[in-house]
Structure 1
């Protein structure tokens, strides 16, 4: 893939991926509402995923769109609807209008956040059980991906990302960590896959305390996780202590996103 349009390129994952996806002969076209300073092999476009005309123009000549843009956590319904749901529709529609053959959509485990440990490893075809409006937006994005594949022929890969940070941010993330390097390996697998069609896969590293979700679909794309959050476990437990395995953070895949303080009336 020689030209990659990345929406939400100024966000956390976009920032982590820029140096990891850079290659000789590859152009990273970075789109965000925040200003970006492009480096070698990069182009910057200041635009919103809610602007269909700007998205369509930005998509022209791209070989793939990696859609990271949108609200990255829970928010009032109106904001989720505008940015995460309507914005994702516009990303797919812009890709179709511009003739982009492939979209890689950053979905989330929160699309299936109310599933429980008795179902682990959670399969790629597990029914949607979103834990928040944010989770609903990821279910909607996966459904849009299916529509744009089956109706218009786009290759669409939806990655249900668990916890992508430079290091695991807390004890629970020792099970859900998706290292930046493994995340980049996942994106490279999505770029290289021959005629993937429509797929939903999970994005997580090879964590010793993992096994919460299936990596079968990701492996079929060519993804091989190399990192393990256990590297950080001893230091983290020394500083913060261990969490009980039957504690509230472990009752659902979505963790704290299932807690009452994210109810609509609390936002």
Structure 2
């Protein structure tokens, strides 16, 4: 698991633990390994480090990289080149199954419809979204050229509970996320799957997820009264009118990004 110290990785670690399974955790920051875990501190853009990290593994869950918008060079290095390095290391090591954490932001400028279909054509909303399009494209290439089984998860909002009105539609519960990863690890072929729970207000398809064996059990509606109070959201306005929500706002224009040295 790359990016194992991040938010999704932290939620998944206890949920992916199994008798007889060893989780090899990789991140830039040191991780304290628990029972059934091995921890490595390494840069996923380092080919030698990644070659050592994937040696002997059965499957890779690639969560690493920037999880929000960043200036182009940072996105290029960590998210795009990093994914290439991970997939190339997997190919050289003979790893058969790779799961790639994509995002709804790969299609962020697509408008809301009654049910947004699987394999929706890319319309990224940010450089971060572009990196997810590139990640899916690299996964497709490594499947078609090398026969690797690759599943790309267009994750919505994976937190312990939905935090706002938008997440009542886009929430992926941690338990459902683990169920989705288990299904994706076992899937053959190439797939692009929405990472979303069985939310009453869901407007993303679950057809492809169910086709690979994912059956979500949780529903954000259990938190609706707590999140909304007496106010129903205006679905014609951001963050509800487009798949990418507030990532479509002008504050994410290139000239507005904070430049980091």
195, 204, 211: which one pairs with 1:203?
Answer: 195
* Paired position in structure 2 for 1:55: 50
- The CA distance in 2 between the partners of 1:144 and 1:237, in whole Å, is 39
Which consecutive aligned stretches of 4+ in structure 1 deviate over 3 angstroms post-superposition? none
* Paired position in structure 2 for 1:3: none
Report the secondary structure of 1:38's partner residue.
Answer: coil
- The CA distance in 1 between the partners of 2:86 and 2:117, in whole Å, is 27
* Paired position in structure 1 for 2:24: 29
- The CA distance in 1 between the partners of 2:76 and 2:237, in whole Å, is 32
* Paired position in structure 1 for 2:215: 224
- In the TM superposition, residue 176 of structure 1 has moved relative to its aligned partner by 0.4
| Residue segments in structure 2 that go unaligned for 5+ positions in a row | none
- In the TM superposition, residue 170 of structure 1 has moved relative to its aligned partner by 0.9
1:257 is the counterpart of 2:252: no
156, 161, 168: which one pairs with 2:162?
Answer: 168
Q: Is the 8 A contact 2:27 2:41 kept in 1?
A: yes
Question: What is the TM-score with the length of structure 2 in the denominator?
Answer: 0.96
Question: What is the TM-score with the length of structure 1 in the denominator?
Answer: 0.94
Q: Is the 8 A contact 1:189 1:221 kept in 2?
A: yes
| Residue segments in structure 1 that go unaligned for 5+ positions in a row | 1-5
Root mean square deviation of aligned Cα:
1.0
Report the secondary structure of 1:245's partner residue.
Answer: coil
After the TM superposition, which of the residue ranges 152-161 and 123-132 deviates more from structure 2?
123-132
Figure out how many residues of one structure are paired with residues of the other and give that number. 257
Q: Is the 8 A contact 2:163 2:227 kept in 1?
A: no
Report the secondary structure of 1:251's partner residue.
Answer: coil
Report the secondary structure of 2:234's partner residue.
Answer: coil
1:266 is the counterpart of 2:256: yes
Q: Is the 8 A contact 2:97 2:186 kept in 1?
A: no
Deviation per residue, 1:52-82 (Å, 9 max, x gap):
1101111010000000000001000000000
Q: How does 1:1-267 map to 2 (within 5 A)?
A: 6-118=1-113, 120-193=114-187, 196-210=188-202, 212-238=203-229, 241-267=231-257
